[in-house]
Chains A and B, each alone.
Chain A
Amino acid sequence: MRDVIVIGAGGGGPVVAKELAAKGLDVLVLEAGPRHAKPRDEWTTFENDANNPLSGYFRLGPTDRSKPAWYREWPQNSFVWQLSGVGGTTQHFYGNYPRAYPGVFKGYDGADRNEYDVNHRFPFTYKEMVPYFEWVEALMPVQTAAMGHKEQLFFKGAETMGLPVQTTKTTLRASYRPQENAILQPQGTAGKTSDKNLLNFPQAKGCTFCGYCFQGCMRPKGAPRNQFAKRSTDNSYVPMALTAEVWATGGRPAELIADAYVTQVHSEKRNGVLTATGVTWRDNVTGDEHREDAKVVVMAGGCTENPRLWFNSGLPNPNDWVGRGYTDHFFDWMIGSFDDYTGNPKGVGSSARLDYPPYGGLENVGLPPALSAFSASLSDSGIRGQYKNGRGATGPWDGPAGRVAGPELKELLSGGIDKLLTVLVITDDDVEAQNRVTLSALPADENGPIPKVTFKQRQRTKRTLKNREFMARKAAELLRGAGAKKVYRIDWAPLILHVQSSMRMGESENNSVLDARGESRAVKRLFIADNSALPNGLGGPNPTLTSQALATRTAEKIFQTYFGGDPWVLKEAPVVSTDPRISVRLGQLGL
C-alpha cells in the first residue's frame, strides 16, 4: 500500500508528488504517456515531427509512435491541445506564469467586483493564495522576461494605449509588461549569438532564444535536465520529485512509471462513507493490468481526462457537475503584417503581455511557419473574402474576420515570417455548464470509453462574448500602434489549450466537484490537483502558475488531513528546482 498515488505527470501531478516526496511519503506517479529521458535523441526542432497530433513526439498517445494516438471526440470545429508524457502539456508550453486576477477570488472588493464570473469564485481569498504563488515562483524560478524584437514591437504598440506598465506580481488594473516567465533568462552567450559552437552549457546559460518552445526545450546544449531554460515540469518538478532524498531532509524519492494508463479509481464504503482505495493501470506496452492501493489518490490527468476516468470508474456524480464548467479563455487570434523585421519566430514563444481585468488580456505569440499557417486557418468565420459562416465580424481590423487562407495566406507568409507579429486574444470567460466533457458514443479504446469535449462557442454567456469583442479591439489597437500595415482577425474556432475548471473547486456544493481543500465531495481520500480543479478561468491569465499554487496548497491539505503533518509553505523557503544537488543525482540516475 502506497501513501499516495498521483495519476498524471503533467502540469499539476508532479507538484503534489514533489511536495509530498519532500515530506517523506511513499509516492507513486503513474503517467499514461512517454518519458522523454533523452530529448537530444528523441526530439528535433521540426513542427510536424514534434506536433503532429496523430504521430508527433508531442501528442496524446503511448510512447510507441507507430501505435495510434488516443482519439478524443470534439463534435465541433475546434482543437483540444493536450499532450501525454512526463511533463504533460507543459512539454510544449511557453512558461508564461502570470498570477490569476484578484477579482476571481472570494472576498474581492475592488470597484469592478461585480464584473467577474461572480457565481464561480475561488472559495478562499487572494491573500490566502499569495504564499502559494510565491512558493512556486521561487521554486521554478519565475523571472521577468528578457526582450527580443517581437516584444519590443509589442511594447511599442502597448505604449500608444494610455495604460501603465505593471511592475508588481499582482495585476491590479489594466496594464502591460514583460511576462513573468518560468524560464531561466539568458546568461553568458545565450541570446547574444547564433553560433552553435558558442552555445554550449555553461558558456551559455538559460534561454538561448532558439524559438523552439513548442517543440520542447532541451537548451542550452549540455545542461543538466533541471537546468534547461524552460521550466516545464519534466525539467523542474519531476526531477525534484525523483531526487527528494538529496535536497529535502527526510525526503523520499517518488517512483514514476511512464506508459502506465490508469483505467480505474477504486473506492469502497468505509463507515458508510465512499472512500478511494487505489487504482488499476494498464501497461501500454504489454497490455498487462496492475493494481495498487493507496491511502490517498490524486487525479491530475487534466481537464479532459479526469472526467473520463471518473465516469469510467463509476464514481458518483450527485450534482451532475463532473466534466462541466470547462473554461478555455475563448481565444481569438490577430495577425499584424509589418514592413520591418519583427523577430517573430525567435526567442520564447511569448515574453510580453497586456492584462485587462475584468475583460481578459493579450500576449504576443511567435510561431514557426506550419503553426503560423494553422493559426491563420482555424476559424469559425469562414474564409476572408469568400464566406463568413454566419459571422465575419468587422471592426478596427482589415476586412471581415475569417481565415487567411489559400493565395492570401501564401502571400502573407511569403512576405516573410519575420515581418509578422501575432497577438493571442484571451477572454475572461464564464464557467458554463454546457461546456463539458461526457463519454463519447464512438468506440472505446483499450482504456475504456473515450471522452467527448463539447463547446458551444456561439452560445456563450453575454459577458464572455462581450469580453472577447473588447479584447479583440484592444489587440487591433495594439497592432496598429506598433505600426502594422495590415491587421487580420481570425475569429478562432475553440483552440482549447488554456484549460480550466472541468472538475471545479467551489464554495457551493450545487455546482462544484471539489470542496475548498481540493478533496472530492463525493469520494473521500480522492483529491484533484491540476487545472481541472481550478474554480474558474482565472480572469484570463495563463493557468499553470495558479494551478500549481493550488496543487501545492492541496498537497498541504492532504498531508494535514491524512498524514497528521503540518503545513510548510508559510514556515519554510522552497529549494529552487535548478539546485545542483538535483543535477548531480539526476546524473547518477542516468536522467
Chain B
Amino acid sequence: MPTAVPLARRAFLARIGILGAALGGGGLLTRSLLNPADAATNPLLPPTVDLLRPVLAALARDTMNGLTVFCQPGPDAYSRTQGTVSKTPGAMESGATNFIIESLDNFVPFPDALAQPIGAAMVTGLADTGIVLPGLELLPPQLRQLDKALAALLQSDEALPLSLPIAMLLNLMATQVNPLAVNGPHLSPFARLTYAEKASAFELIEKTDADLVALLDVQFPEPLKESVSGLLKFVGGALIEFGTFGAYSEYAVFDPKTRKLKGRPVSWQLSGYQPDGPVEGWDDFIGYYQGRTEVHD
C-alpha cells in the first residue's frame, strides 16, 4: 500500500493542473488506469509514464486554449468561460493554439537543456507553495503513483516540450489568483479564469522580481541561474505577444506546399485587410507633399 502524498504536494500537483487533468471530475485517466500497466514503452521509466504523457499534452493544449482566447476571444467555450465571448471568429478559428504550442516547442533548439530542468525545478522545488486548497485530503492514494510517474518523466532524459512547463507555470499562477480554479470546466486551471483573472496571472509572471521566478533560479547552478529567470521573463511577455501575432496571422489557412491560402484568415475577415487577397500594388499614390520631389542642402 503506497503511502499518502503529503498535502502540500497534492496541492502543488493540483495547482499546476496535473492532478485535475489526470484524476479530477473531467480527468483523462480513470483511477484504475493508474494501476501498473503491462509493458512500458521506455523500460527505464515506470509504466504509468506512458499513461501520463498524453495527459500532459492535453493539459498543455487546454492551457494554451485558455491563453490564445485571452489574446483573441471568439465564439468558443473558452471565451465563454473567460467572460468575453464574441460573435466573430477568434483564436480557436485562427489556429492560434497550434501556433503557440509549435512556437514554444521549437523556441529553443535545445529543449532538453531547458524545458527539462525548468519542469523538474517546478515540480521538485516549488511543491510547498503554501496555499491551502479544500478537499484534497480526500484524494486517493494512487496519487502517489501519478506523482512518481511525473517525477520520473521529468528526471529522465526524454525530451520535454517547453509548452508543458509553461502551461504548468500558467496554471500555478492561475491558482494563486483564484484557488478555486483547481476545479471546474476544461482541464486547465488557467483556462477556468475570467479575463481579469488571467490578466492578474500575467501580472504575477511579469513582475520584474517575480517570486516564483526567483524561486526557480535557486534550483539551478551558476551560471544558468539568471538565464532561467531571464528566459521566463522573456516568455512571460512573449506568450501574449506571439500568441497575438499567431492569432492575427494567416497561420491556420496557409498551405506551405502551394504557398497559397486555403481560406481567408480570421484577421483579414475582422480587419478588412486586402479584401480581394494579395496584390501587386495599390492605387494609393496621391502626389508629392507640397509638390516637392527633391531636396538639397
Interface residues of A (CB under 8 A from B): 44-49, 52, 54-55, 68-69, 71, 73-79, 130, 143-144, 146-149, 151-152, 155, 165-170, 177-178, 180, 185-186, 190-194, 196, 199, 204, 208-211, 219-221, 343, 345-347, 352, 368-374, 376-379, 382-383, 386-387, 389-390, 403, 405-407, 409-410, 413-414, 416-418, 440-443, 445, 452, 458, 493
Instruction: Tell me which residues across on chain A come within 8 A of B99, comparing CB atoms.
Output: 48
Q: In the bound complex, what is the Cα–Cα distance between A496 and B248 (angstroms)?
A: 22
Offer 12 A-B interface pairs, CB within 8 angstroms, sorted by A: A49-B259, A77-B206, A77-B236, A146-B288, A169-B297, A369-B248, A369-B273, A371-B245, A382-B202, A414-B88, A414-B270, A414-B271
Q: In the bound complex, what is the Cα–Cα distance between A440 and B242 (angstroms)?
A: 23
Q: Contact check, B251 vs A48: say whether CB atoms are below 8 A apart.
A: yes
Q: In the bound complex, what is the Cα–Cα distance between A445 and B199 (angstroms)?
A: 35
- Given A77-B234, A343-B284, A410-B73, decide whether A377 and B249 contact each other with a Cβ distance below 8 A: no
Number of interface residues of B (CB under 8 A): 80
Q: In the bound complex, what is the Cα–Cα distance between A579 and B99 (angstroms)?
A: 44
Additional pairs, 17, CB under 8 Å, beyond known A146-B288, A168-B296 = A48-B99, A48-B249, A52-B103, A75-B234, A77-B236, A77-B238, A148-B285, A185-B293, A196-B280, A208-B281, A210-B281, A347-B285, A369-B249, A369-B268, A376-B244, A378-B237, A403-B240
- Given A146-B287, A387-B203, decide whether A68 and B109 contact each other with a Cβ distance below 8 A: yes
Q: Could you give, for residues 257-284 of chain B, a 1 whenever the CB lies within 8 Å of some chain A CB and a 0 otherwise? A: 0010100010110111110001111111
Q: Contact check, A441 vs B270: say whether CB atoms are below 8 A apart.
A: no
Contact partner, A194, options B248, B273, B283, Cβ 8 Å: B283
The answer to whether the Cβ of B155 comes within 8 Å of any Cβ in the partner chain is no
The answer to whether the Cβ of B108 comes within 8 Å of any Cβ in the partner chain is yes
Tell me the minimal C-beta distance from A13 to chain B in angstroms.
26
- B94-114 residues with Cβ-Cβ distance < 8 A to A are 99, 103, 106-110, 113-114
Q: In the bound complex, what is the Cα–Cα distance between A370 and B274 (angstroms)?
A: 13
Which residue of chain A has the shortest Cβ distance to B286 in the bound complex? A147
Which residue of chain A has the shortest Cβ distance to B114 in the bound complex? A442
Q: Contact check, A192 vs B285: say whether CB atoms are below 8 A apart.
A: yes
Q: Contact check, B231 vs A73: say whether CB atoms are below 8 A apart.
A: yes
Instruction: Tell me which residues across on chain B come within 8 A of A390, comparing CB atoms.
Output: 207-208
Instruction: Tell me which residues across on chain A come within 8 A of B114, comparing CB atoms.
Output: 442
- Given A77-B237, A148-B284, A405-B71, decide whether A442 and B270 contact each other with a Cβ distance below 8 A: no
Q: In the bound complex, what is the Cα–Cα distance between A443 and B231 (angstroms)?
A: 13
Tell me the minimal C-beta distance from B126 to chain A in angstroms.
21
- Given A77-B233, A144-B292, A169-B297, decide whether A204 and B281 contact each other with a Cβ distance below 8 A: yes
Which residue of chain A has the shortest Cβ distance to B240 in the bound complex? A377
Tell me the minimal C-beta distance from B282 to chain A in angstroms.
4
Tell me the minimal C-beta distance from A499 to chain B in angstroms.
18
Q: Contact check, A219 vs B281: say whether CB atoms are below 8 A apart.
A: yes
Instruction: Tell me which residues across on chain B come within 8 A of A194, comparing CB atoms.
Output: 279, 281-283
